Amino acid sequence: MIGARGEHSTVIKAFIIHLARSTDRQQQVDLLSQTLPVSTDVVDAVDARKLTDEDVRRVYKAGLHAPRYPFDLNIREVACFLSHRKAWQAIVDQNLTAGLVLEDDVALTPEFAAAYSAAARFAGPTDFIRFPFRPHREQGPEVFAADNARILRAKPVGLGMVTQLIGYEAAKQLLAVTETFDRPVDTMLQMNWITGLSPLAVVPGGVREVSSQLGGSTIQQKKPLLEKLRREILRPIYRMRVNAYSRGKEG
Domain extent listing, the chain: 12-222
Compute φ and ψ for 197, nearest 5 degrees. Answer: -110, 160
Helices (H) and strands (E) in the chain, counts: 8, 10
Fold of the CATH domain 12-222: Spore Coat Polysaccharide Biosynthesis Protein SpsA; Chain A (3.90.550)
Q: What is the pLDDT of residue 6?
A: 43
pLDDT at position 4: 43
> What's the CA dihedral at 26, 165, 209, 80 to 10 degrees?
70
CA-to-CA separations, 194 to 67, 110, 163, 197, 202, in angstroms, rounded: 11, 35, 21, 8, 22
Flag whether the pTM goes above 0.75. yes
| CB 40 within 8 Å of CB 13 | yes
- Indicate the SS3 state at residue 165: strand
Q: Give CA–CA dist 138/158, Å, rounded.
A: 7
pLDDT in tens, 177-224: 999 999 999 999 999 999 999 999 999 999 999 988 766 555 556 677
**pLDDT for res 141:** 93
**Which residues of the chain are modeled with pLDDT < 70?**
1-9, 135, 214-222, 247-251
Percent of the chain whose pLDDT exceeds 90: 73
Q: State residue 95's pLDDT score.
A: 97
Bridge partner residues of 146 (DSSP)? 149
Residues 6+ apart with CB under 8 A from 200: 127, 128, 129, 130, 143, 151, 152, 153, 154
